[in-house]
Amino acid sequence: MQLLISSCIAWITIILISIIPKKLSILDFVFLYCVLLCLTSTSFTIFELNFNIITFPMLGVNLWAVTIYRLVTSPLLILMIFNALQPSEERKTNWTLSIAIWIGLTTYDWTLDHFKIIKYQILYVRTSIGIAYLCLILITWGLLKWYKRFDYTRKRSIHDSYNRLR
């Protein structure tokens, strides 16, 4: 049952990310997804192996449910937050949607803990998981800003080569 619910939520997330109006380019999305996977998997490993404050299921459907959550649902939801936060010419930054997704992500994490799919060994970790997600978002936001700087240099180099041709 857990696997079915996890897969359905992952699929709904995929549908949502496919249909939302995109303010980021494909390259930005790929960059963010890679960064998020690296950061989340490393931090989960540190929390699990080094500090022993999270326990992941060892066997069966629960393991797959968590893997789907870690590889699909959580990074894609964070990608949607970044997309909503990105200002564009047509649309302003959508703070309400970003906060709603962030709350949804935290609640989903608490639900996983409630059903003993992920076990938080210490109470304050469970309560502060939302802040941990916020920190992750801030770090990735900084990296995205750095990455998007190359848009400008790229446009400039195209502009320069066009001018040289003229």
Partner 1 sequence: MIATIVYDNRFNANEWFGIIGLCIGLFFMIKLPSRFPRKIAILFFLCGLTFGTLADHYIGTTPKSLYDTGNTSDFDLTDVPSLLMYGPFSYLFFYIYDFIKIKTNFIPIYILFWSLASSLFEWLGGVAGLFHYNNGYWIGISFMIYLLVHSIWIIFYHIIYQHEKTLKV
Residues that bind partner 1 (CB under 8 A): 26-27, 30-31, 34-35, 37-38, 41-42, 44-46, 48-50, 52, 56-59, 63, 67, 147, 150-151, 153-154
* Minimum distance of partner 1 from residue 92's CB (angstroms): 25
Nearer to partner 1, 124 or 162 (CB): 162
Long-range pairs for 158-165: beta carbons < 8 A, 24 or more residues apart = none
Tell the residue number behind the tokens 């629960």, with chain if given: 62
Q: Are 24 and 32 in contact (CB under 8 A)?
A: yes
Nearer to partner 1, 64 or 104 (CB): 64
Bridge partners for 45 per DSSP:
none
Nearer to partner 1, 114 or 149 (CB): 149
* Minimum distance of partner 1 from residue 36's CB (angstroms): 9
Q: Which residues contact 41 (CB under 8 A, 6 or more apart)?
A: 70
